[in-house]
Structure 1
Amino acid sequence: MRFASVGWTGVTVKTELAVKILQTLGYQASNTMLSVPIVYTALSTNEADVFLGNWMPSMKSIAEKYFADGSVVKYVANMTGAKYTLAVPSYEAKAGLKSFADIARFADKLDHKIYGIEEGNDGNEIIEQMIKRNDFGLGNFQLIPSSEAGMLAQVMSYAKEGKWIVFLGWAPHYMNTLIDMTYLTGSTDKTFGPNDGTATVYTNLRKGFAAQRPNVAVFLKHLVFPVSMMNEIMTAMHDNEDLKPLEAGLSWLKKHPKTYAGWLEGVKTVDGEPALPVFESFMASVK
């Protein structure tokens, strides 16, 4: 089972949990971290099987052509009620920067910059297109790409000093508890969607995977992640920097056995045995 993922905390947690569960059931499973465009190339060319991080509608410009030609299957929503759009520290919103249409009015305070995450990311692409089209009068702005950690360090540094910044924000993520932040309103179909960045995250499969691996397909269909679950896991990781994504995820599952029981309903091991008792046995050893 070849999972592809991207370097975002939440997607990493989900993917590492899925890989570990399948390994306990006797499958060979792996996780390869790629950029968003390469994920879809890999899925469409049978170099990867599963992707748990299809954020929609923001990834539409990258993913939709693969859904349309049938090389990648959208499959099932694994998280609803997520958020993905531009945000600001709340003191900026109180000063008047509340919507996309307000950004250009504060161009000098913002140094004509919008802070994104890694190169090739769909959010960065949306920002770049906004600038290219001069949407909301942003034609003289510059995208500043970075890693997730690098971008958040920049935001927290600016917020501490009361400096102005617009950045790519999302939920679930510990940033929502760490930073007093406000998501901007007024996004459009061409940007982060008409519902102010409200997002649904989908599990994607390569063409033919569900038919070839029906037992795994059942597991993936059940594999859903409430926003509250992911917020708790990522906050725990922030509070304990030594806590790895898999460790944090398993620790949460240890306290919420009904969650993994639901994931494994009707699922078998490689040998055809019921999956839940096998995984329960594994979880007994988790601290």
Structure 2
Amino acid sequence: MKNLRNLSLVLGLVLTLGACTNSQKSANKEVNILYPNWAEGIAFTHLAQAALESNGYETELTNLEPGLIYGELSKENSKGDVFLDAWLPNTHQAYWEDYGDKLEKLGESFSDGTTGLVVPSYVTINSIEELNAHKAQFDGEIIGIGSGAGIHANTLKAIEEYGLDFEQITSSGPAMVASLEKAISDNKWIVVTGWKPHFKWSGNDLKYLADPKGVYPKDVCAIISRRGFAEDMPEVAHFFKNFNLNEEQLYTLMAAIRSDGEEAGAKKWYESNKELVDGWFK
């Protein structure tokens, strides 16, 4: 009787450990990607989703403002794993100063990020210093995006540094693009906060205004993760360390997403570039 009882306890322990192991394996197969409502961030994220799911992983995508993304990933028990659109070392400098010691850099999704004030090429000025002289033609407005974006803070700095008699209009990435394209269709002057990479450059004839005071820096779109992610999921971390697109590749990916939707467009682009993307796992 005693032996049977001991056997029962051993079997119960084995089953419990087996269940825990299976649960851990299941958990370690799910990747939670946090992303902002920015065109390139949406593209990076959905491409990663398509590749990971094709290679046997489950994914969960969570759309948040950038400050919340950094804050969540810095938590000891973060619900997120990775963020593919961290503009470092400059545009998101303040976020990195607050949270960077609790995060890890894995790689670069895009290595030549630029930001600044953007106008249609038919606008006859070429520098931020010329804006005040043409305030009426721009209605005294700079069309911006969300207040949590680093470019929003840099534009407030530009207004101060250049003494601009302009107001930055806080909106969103899609709203900024809609305003830009409507102005172009009406052949009107407009100035927006812009960055590369972004699909608006492939669909419109645009230019940056020169920034002689250097308010708008160059960055990379870095891939960052919660601490311990690389140890928990080394194969996926290796994938993200190799994940990198050039401008032409990214714009064709963005075009597919605009044409077919976020998930379907990214999956279609992945299938057409499977050798490239799956090579990042190796």
TM-score normalised by structure 2 residue count? 0.81
Q: Where in structure 2 are the equivalents of 1:1-287 lying within 5 Å?
A: 1-45=31-75, 46-56=78-88, 57-67=90-100, 70-92=101-123, 95=124, 97-131=125-159, 134-138=160-164, 140-186=165-211, 188-189=213-214, 191-193=215-217, 198-238=218-258, 240=259, 243-265=260-282
**One-letter amino acid of the structure 1 residue matched with residue 81 of structure 2:** D
What 5-or-longer segments of structure 1 have no aligned partner?
A: 266-287
Partner Cα distance (1:224, 1:41) in 2: 25
Distance 1:256 1:47, change over 3 A: closer
Partner Cα distance (1:105, 1:259) in 2: 49
What 5-or-longer segments of structure 2 have no aligned partner?
A: 1-30
Distance 1:264 1:74, change over 3 A: closer
Is the CA contact (8 Å cut-off) linking 2:106 and 2:237 kept in structure 1? Answer: no
> Cα RMSD (Å) of the superposition?
1.9
1:284 maps to which residue?
Answer: none
TM-score normalised by structure 1 residue count? 0.80
**Same amino acid, percent of matched pairs:** 26
Is the CA contact (8 Å cut-off) linking 2:32 and 2:59 kept in structure 1? Answer: yes
Distance 1:78 1:188, change over 3 A: farther
**One-letter amino acid of the structure 2 residue matched with residue 192 of structure 1:** Y
Is the CA contact (8 Å cut-off) linking 1:44 and 1:206 kept in structure 2? Answer: yes
Is the CA contact (8 Å cut-off) linking 1:90 and 1:181 kept in structure 2? Answer: yes
Is the CA contact (8 Å cut-off) linking 2:81 and 2:229 kept in structure 1? Answer: yes
Partner Cα distance (2:185, 2:52) in 1: 43
More helix by share: 2
Partner Cα distance (1:235, 1:22) in 2: 21
2:20 maps to which residue?
Answer: none
Partner Cα distance (1:252, 1:106) in 2: 42
Partner Cα distance (1:188, 1:43) in 2: 34
2:16 maps to which residue?
Answer: none
Number of residues paired by the alignment? 249
